[in-house]
Amino acid sequence: MKRTWLTHNLRVVSAISLLQDAASELMYPLLPIFLTVTLGAPAAVVGAVEGIAEGAAALTKILAGRLSDRYPRRRLMGLGYALAALGKVVVAVATSWPVVLAGRSVDRLGKGIRGAPRDALLVVDIPADARGRAFGFHRAMDTAGAVVGPLLALAGYELLGHRLRPLLLIAVVPGVASAL
């Protein structure tokens, strides 16, 4: 019997990526407004928050590949998604920009941790000649999340009377769902 490339594992991991990316792309386009208007942070803080958070993700990725080869990949991936969800919760309830920095950094640490084990899990039980298709499917699902998130943000922004805090709390829902 010929094995299919669209395995249960691939579908689940791809759906998780779609949810997490939707949550991220719903929340993070709003952050500059949230930081400067709602929290009163100077504009320079926006760049500092993003730079520090992305730096945390980059440094974590260096270690994540090695950890992925030594520890259970599902647990590492779960930890990464859980940290990302926790970071989104922290951002959503933040009352000052340093708290947003902490939340954003935790979120990106999660991104750095989950990448390598997720990629290794994507190809479990997939024939070598179908791995490109599998990664393409995953990337398409992830990109779909990147489209859905901003659309939800725009619709929610209008429906919620331009209030950011409730919209940030809504962004937590797909993030937590992806971790679960």
Handedness of CA 171, 176, 178, 179 (dihedral sign): positive
pLDDT digits (tens, 9 = 90+) for 152-167: 999 999 999 999 999 9
What digits encode the pLDDT tens for the residues 40-54?
999 999 999 999 999
Cα–Cα dist 112/131, whole Å: 22
Q: For the segment 163-179, what is each residue's pLDDT rounded down to a tens digit?
A: 999 999 999 999 999 99
Contact 27, 35 (CB under 8 A): no
Q: What is the pLDDT of residues 51-97, one digit of tens each?
A: 999 999 999 998 888 888 888 989 999 999 999 999 999 999 999 99
Q: Which amino acid does the sequence have at 69? A: D
Percent of the chain surpassing pLDDT 70: 98
Amino acid at 6: L
